[in-house]
């Protein structure tokens, strides 16, 4: 039995296999309609979610399975003080696989230690979000023909952005990738990530100015400033609209740039960008269901 807590739990060849399976699901959806017949997914969301939760539940339905669970911690016995360990022990009696989002870092790993079914980390605080990374890799592969030799600009909240942390952790393993980190000084990427890049001889630069660097990027990965990660409301208000991608800024970019975003967005991408062919973030959200179908089958060892 395997869990997915970090993107590092998968080898590069396994990620490539999941991408290959995803393309086959896109091209031959009817071949997968009963792959998980009679299987149940436990959807355990202690923190709000739209795309991740619904895409997992839709993925299981499209595989012929069912799902059960909750979309808010208030609907669980966590409100009564039940531990993660006891919750997952109980859920393991009712389901074949579990996906969990929790506001506390390390919670998914804790659940995996006590689970008798595969556990998928759907985001643990500001730490990791490996299935969003799989979604991102499929999107990049689709629009760039591969995931190597790219200049990847990542803009916004790089301190608390778990999608950013997981994506950098994965893309560093592919040859020739270079990162351009764009953020306010208060929201810079954590030092431990920069140390990992240096250790792996991966090129990166840091800046506070998007206008001066957007022309160099093959990918622009925008993120929102996350209100829920701030203890100081004034600090959030001061930083929340620091970067707004609009047509004027986009006019400086390459014609084959792709604009990605894990969503939800607030103000960081103007709606006038949505119709630009370089904006792929809603397609990106759609790919989330596909790659999660592939992942569920892999962890359940469904042929």
- Say which of 35, 39, 101, 240 is annotated catalytic: 101
Common-topology check for domains 7-128+288-299 and 130-284:
yes
- Say which of 3, 35, 39, 52 is annotated catalytic: 52
Known catalytic membership, residue 188: no
Note the pLDDT tens digit of each residue in 54-102: 999 999 999 999 999 988 666 677 777 789 999 999 999 999 999 999 9
Residue 110: per-residue pLDDT:
95
Topology of domain 130-284, per CATH? Rossmann fold (3.40.50)
How wide is the angle at C-alpha 25 spanned by C-alphas 23 and 28, nearest 5°?
Answer: 105
CA distance 224 to 243: 9
Known catalytic membership, residue 165: no
Exposed/middle/buried for 87, CB within 10 Å: 0-12, 13-18, 19+?
Answer: buried
The CATH number of domain 7-128+288-299, selected from 1.10.3720.10, 3.40.50.1370, 3.20.20.70, 1.10.3210.10: 3.40.50.1370
Calculate the CA dihedral of residues 164, 168, 170, 172 and round it to 10 degrees. Answer: 170
Note the pLDDT tens digit of each residue in 9-59: 999 999 999 999 999 999 999 999 999 999 999 999 998 889 999 999 999
Known catalytic membership, residue 129: yes
Do residues 79 and 22 touch, judged by C-beta distance below 8 A?
no
Phi, psi of 57 (to 5 degrees): -65, -40
Of 278, 240, 270, 237, the residue nearest 153 (C-alpha): 278
Tell me the sheet residues that pair with 279. 259
With helix as H, strand as E and coil as C, how does 152-184 read? EEEECCCCCCHHHHHHHHHHCCCCCCEEEEECC
Residue 21: per-residue pLDDT:
98
Residue 237: per-residue pLDDT:
56
Residue 124: per-residue pLDDT:
87
Note the pLDDT tens digit of each residue in 135-189: 999 999 999 999 999 999 999 989 888 889 889 999 999 999 999 999 888 889 9
Known catalytic membership, residue 101: yes
Domain borders along the chain are 7-128+288-299, 130-284
Note the pLDDT tens digit of each residue in 223-269: 987 545 444 556 545 555 678 899 999 999 999 999 999 998 888 99
CA distance 116 to 131: 21
Q: Provide mean pLDDT across the span 110-124.
A: 96
- Say which of 39, 129, 265, 292 is annotated catalytic: 129
CA-based torsion, 61, 63, 68, 72: positive or negative: negative
Residue 230: per-residue pLDDT:
46
Known catalytic membership, residue 223: no
């Amino acid at each position: 039995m395997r869990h997915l807590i970090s993107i590092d739990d998968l080898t590069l060849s396994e990620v490539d296999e999941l991408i290959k399976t995803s393309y086959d699901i896109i091209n031959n959806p009817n071949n997968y309609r009963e792959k998980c017949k009679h299987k149940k997914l436990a959807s355990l969301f202690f923190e709000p979610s739209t795309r991740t939760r619904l895409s997992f539940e839709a993925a299981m339905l499209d595989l012929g399975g069912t799902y059960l669970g909750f979309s808010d911690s208030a609907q669980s016995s966590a409100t009564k003080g039940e531990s993660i360990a006891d919750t997952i022990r109980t859920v393991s009696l009712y389901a074949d696989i579990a996906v969990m989002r929790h506001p506390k870092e390390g919670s998914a790993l804790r659940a995996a230690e006590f689970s008798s079914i595969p556990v998928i980390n759907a985001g643990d605080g500001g730490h990791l979000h490996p299935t969003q990374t799989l979604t991102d890799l499929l999107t990049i592969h689709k629009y760039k023909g591969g995931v190597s030799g790219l200049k990847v600009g990542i803009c916004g909240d790089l301190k608390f952005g778990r999608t950013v942390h997981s994506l950098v952790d994965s893309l560093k393993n592919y040859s020739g990738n270079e990162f351009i980190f764009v953020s306010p000084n208060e929201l810079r990427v954590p030092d431990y990530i920069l140390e990992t890049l240096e250790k792996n001889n991966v090129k990166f630069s840091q800046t506070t100015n998007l206008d001066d660097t957007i022309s160099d990027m093959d990918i622009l990965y925008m993120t929102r400033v996350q209100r829920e990660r701030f203890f100081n409301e004034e600090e959030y208000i001061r930083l929340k609209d620091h970067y707004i991608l609009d047509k004027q800024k986009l006019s400086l970019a390459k014609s084959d740039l792709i604009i990605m975003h894990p969503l939800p967005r607030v103000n960081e991408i103007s709606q006038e960008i949505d119709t630009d062919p370089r904006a792929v973030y809603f397609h990106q959200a759609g790919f989330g269901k596909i790659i999660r179908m592939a992942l569920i089958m892999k962890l359940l060892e469904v042929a």
